[in-house]
């Protein structure tokens, strides 16, 4: 998957940020960091790279001027749509290796590992 992402000029973290914004509706950098599972510094770095590449834009919050809202640009939406099938195929590849019961166990264990995470 890493090689496929690189073909599109993305890292795994960059992809996860695009996913957070496009699919999960995350707009706040803190929410994006929590979704991706990285600290605020790494999130800021990833946002800066994606913004420089023209894939995201950052604007002052509408409700609270002290906040920042992240949005995909047209180029970011296009990039997201181009990469999504590749990532879905990778996801399917690994899910198909597990039974439904194993997949449920994996999800339960991953949830347990990430519960009550603090920065």
3 state SS of 91: helix
Tell me the whole-structure pTM to 2 decimals: 0.82
Q: What is the pLDDT along the chain (119 residues), one digit of tens a residue?
A: 888 899 999 999 999 999 999 999 999 999 999 999 899 999 999 999 999 999 999 988 677 667 789 999 999 999 999 999 999 998 899 999 999 999 999 999 988 887 765 54
For the chain, which domains are there? 2-114 (1.10.10.10)
3 state SS of 56: strand
18 class by beta-carbon count within 10 Å (0-12 exposed, 13-18 middle, 19+ buried): buried
């Amino acid at each position: 998957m890493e090689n496929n992402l690189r073909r599109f000029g993305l890292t795994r973290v960059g992809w996860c940020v695009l996913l957070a914004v496009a699919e999960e509706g995350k707009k706040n950098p803190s929410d994006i960091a929590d979704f991706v599972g990285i600290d605020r510094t790494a999130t800021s770095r990833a946002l800066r790279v994606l913004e420089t590449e023209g894939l995201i834009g950052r604007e002052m919050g509408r409700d609270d001027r002290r906040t920042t809202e992240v949005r995909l640009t047209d180029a970011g939406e296009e990039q997201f749509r181009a990469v999504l099938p590749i990532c879905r195929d990778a996801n399917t590849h690994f899910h198909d290796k597990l039974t439904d019961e194993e997949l449920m166990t994996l999800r339960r264990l991953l949830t347990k590992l990430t519960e009550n995470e603090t920065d």
